[in-house]
């Protein structure tokens, strides 16, 4: 099993005819992703890598059953494109787009919740089930099949942790990039819940970073409900208060969101917290 996606998930690519959308479509197909259709307004009736292109998500759903849409669209149309997918009845939306305006993020997060859809992102690298499929831009050669779930607020750290695990003979069940913007479509707790119920996943690696309160909330969930061991790593321990550190979500304000606060919360919940990335495989081997 896996969470959110597998080799049978029927995928729509919005922005499929753009340079990034076209390139990533080929990469996703190579990894077994079941892409059934694409969308670019004004390009309906064409094809990309044998995939039919439609003008709207709604038109695509009239021809194909679609479980998930992945978006490679400009930030200025991200809001409208997400709404279009949700209104077409698509229940999982993965927004790869960076620099989405924060007010648009707030709107689409609320809209997805209202309509019962799950929004991953924005600024997410996507989701991968090694050996089955990938959604987004995750480099498949850095992952391998196994039974450790990874949930990460940092895309590049997700790659590095997975590669370290693979080099130590530890594969992954599913890897989910949360996206690092100030407003995230979903949160760590929601994904932890899915891993908690997944028979394939035997342990979870949580990669957090300074800013916000997601890790503290995750610690509370782990302490009360998590049935599987969790290993964590918190990036940005040296980030000064009040200064953004690369990601829009990585900011410490009002005494909240510091690495110490997150680490203390996780430790109190019984989570093993790695000080260095190369400690993670060692801890996984101890707790599994």
Residues designated as active site: 247
């979500």: which residue's tokens?
A: 249
* CA gap 14, 135 in Å, rounded: 12
The three-state secondary structure class of 132 is: coil
Q: Read off the DSSP letter of residue 240.
A: P
Paired tokens of 180: 């690092």
Cβ atoms 205, 255 nearer than 8 A: no
């203390």: which residue's tokens?
A: 264
Q: Read off the DSSP letter of residue 239.
A: P
Cβ atoms 109, 82 nearer than 8 A: no
Query: Kindly report the CA angle at 227 between 226 and 229, in degrees rounded to 5?
Result: 85
* CA gap 107, 266 in Å, rounded: 30
């Amino acid at each position: 099993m896996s969470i959110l996606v597998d080799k049978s998930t029927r995928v729509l690519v919005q922005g499929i005819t753009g340079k990034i959308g076209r390139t990533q479509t080929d990469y996703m197909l190579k990894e077994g992703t079941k892409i059934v259709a694409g969308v670019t307004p004004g390009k309906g009736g064409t094809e990309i890598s044998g995939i039919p292109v439609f003008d709207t998500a709604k038109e695509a759903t009239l021809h194909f059953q679609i479980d998930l849409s992945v978006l490679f669209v400009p930030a200025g149309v991200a809001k409208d494109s997400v709404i279009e997918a949700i209104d077409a009845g698509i229940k999982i939306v993965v927004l790869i787009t960076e620099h989405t305006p924060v007010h648009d993020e707030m709107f689409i997060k609320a809209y997805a919740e209202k309509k019962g859809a799950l929004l991953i992102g924005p600024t997410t690298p996507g989701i991968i089930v090694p050996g089955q499929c990938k959604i987004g831009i995750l480099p498949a050669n850095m992952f391998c099949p196994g039974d450790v779930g990874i949930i990460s607020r940092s895309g590049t750290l997700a790659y590095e942790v997975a590669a370290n695990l693979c080099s130590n003979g530890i594969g992954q069940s599913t890897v989910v990039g949360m996206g690092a913007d100030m407003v995230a479509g979903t949160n760590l707790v929601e994904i932890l819940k899915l891993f908690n119920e997944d028979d394939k996943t035997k342990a979870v690696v949580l990669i957090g970073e300074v800013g916000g309160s997601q890790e503290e909330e995750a610690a509370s969930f782990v302490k009360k409900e998590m049935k599987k061991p969790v290993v964590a790593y918190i990036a940005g321990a040296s980030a000064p208060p009040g200064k953004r550190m690369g990601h829009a979500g990585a900011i410490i304000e009002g005494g909240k969101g510091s690495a110490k606060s997150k680490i203390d919360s996780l430790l109190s919940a019984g989570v093993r917290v790695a000080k260095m990335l190369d400690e993670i495989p060692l801890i996984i081997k101890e707790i599994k």
